[in-house]
Amino acid sequence: MDLFEAIQKRRSIRRYKETPVPETVIERALEMAVLAPNSSNTQTWDFYWVRTPEKKAALVKACFSQSAARTAAELVVVVASPTQWRRSQPYLIDWVRSVRAPKSVILYYEKLIPAMYRWGFLNCIGYTKWIGLTVAGLFRPVPRGPNTRRDIQEVSIKSAALAAENFVLAITAQGYATCMMEGFDEWRVKRILGLSRTDRVVMVIAVGEEAERGTWGPQYRIPIEKVVHRV
Ligand SMILES: Cc1cc2nc3c(=O)[nH]c(=O)nc-3n(C[C@H](O)[C@H](O)[C@H](O)COP(=O)(O)O)c2cc1C
């Protein structure tokens, strides 16, 4: 299946057969997920493949027992982890040094990333950056952020959402179905997975083999000219 076919074939499937999904299908899709483009290659994401029956039952409940979650063979939670640039930083520094990247790139990972991704207690660093950049921005184009905790969470969420899309397309290409879900109680999902206060649950993804009446009907989009603007 080529990429165009996978994109066209992917649908949000809300009912699955009881047949299991081979582990390798999920593993391959996770390998594709982490190849998604992401902000500064900081890879501030985590993927929780929920396998234990107790955790899975709790997760289904936290997803309001919606049918996609209830009938899924597998559930994978995509998490944006805004503080995990710290986990990536030593790897990235080793990597840019090993490929003999320009000094500016090495400095970027050593100095600029920590400056960009810190928000400080009660956002004090974030608001200081915001004031400085807003003043500088009166005179020239400047990067307006990320500054505060919310901005940095947003950056991580964008990257994690791209990884989620890679994941579902890779599942589709292997002949299985998915449903991305944001219909969940985030506080409860975070408790089930033992996540930190600053983490954000981006998507719970159901995976399985499509059952009869897995969708509400054919795929529908509003006319493309309503959303594409040639400017
Ligand atoms: C961010 C996001 C959250 C979603 N949340 C849910 C959800 O909680 N439950 C559900 O059944 N579908 C959910 N969906 C699926 C959408 O309803 C679906 O993508 C949309 O109706 C278009 O249908 P299609 O995916 O079959 O093209 C979600 C999709 C996205 C991207």
At 164-192, the pLDDT tens digits run 999 999 999 999 999 999 999 999 999 99
CA of 112 to the centre of ligand 1 (A): 36
Q: Which amino acid residue places its CA nearest to atom 13 of ligand 1? A: 181
Q: For residue 205, what pLDDT band results from cuts at 50, 70 and 90?
A: very high
The DSSP string of the chain is --HHHHHHH--B---B-SPPPPHHHHHHHHHHHTTS--GGG---EEEEEE-SHHHHHHHHHHTTT-HHHHH-SEEEEEEE-TTTHHHHHHHHHHHHHHTT--HHHHHIIIIIHHHHH---GGGHHHHHHHHHHHHHTTTS-------SHHHHHHHHHHHHHHHHHHHHHHHHHTT-EEEEE--S-HHHHHHHHT--TT-EEEEEEEEE-B-TT-SSSS-----GGGT----
| pLDDT tops 90 at residue 145 | no
Query: Among the CATH numbers 3.30.1780.10, 3.40.50.720, 3.40.109.10, 3.30.479.30, which is that of 1-231?
Result: 3.40.109.10
CA of 122 to the centre of ligand 1 (A): 34
CA of 12 to the centre of ligand 1 (A): 6
Q: What is the pTM of this model?
A: 0.95
% of the chain with per-residue pLDDT over 90? 96
Q: Which amino acid residue places its CA nearest to atom 9 of ligand 1? A: 181
CA of 83 to the centre of ligand 1 (A): 28
Q: Which amino acid residue places its CA nearest to atom 21 of ligand 1? A: 12
Cβ of residue 113 lying under 6 Å from some atom of ligand 1:
no
% of the chain with per-residue pLDDT over 70? 100
Cβ of residue 179 lying under 6 Å from some atom of ligand 1:
yes
**2-46 per-position pLDDT tens digit:** 999 999 999 999 999 999 999 999 999 999 999 999 999 999 999
Q: If you average pLDDT over every residue of the chain, what do you get? A: 96
Q: Which amino acid residue places its CA nearest to atom 10 of ligand 1? A: 181
Determine the Cα–Cα distance for residues 47 and 80; give it in Å rounded to an integer: 9
* Cα angle 113, 78, 81; round to 5: 25
* Residues in a beta bridge with 203: 78
Tokens in use for 68?
Answer: 């996609």
Pocket probe for ligand 1: among 181, 216, 220, the residue whose CB has the most ligand atoms within 8 Å is 181
Q: Which amino acid residue places its CA nearest to atom 27 of ligand 1? A: 11
CA of 181 to the centre of ligand 1 (A): 6
Cβ(177)–Cβ(11) below 8 Å:
yes
Cβ of residue 29 lying under 6 Å from some atom of ligand 1:
no
Cβ of residue 15 lying under 6 Å from some atom of ligand 1:
no
Q: How high is the pLDDT of residue 101?
A: 96
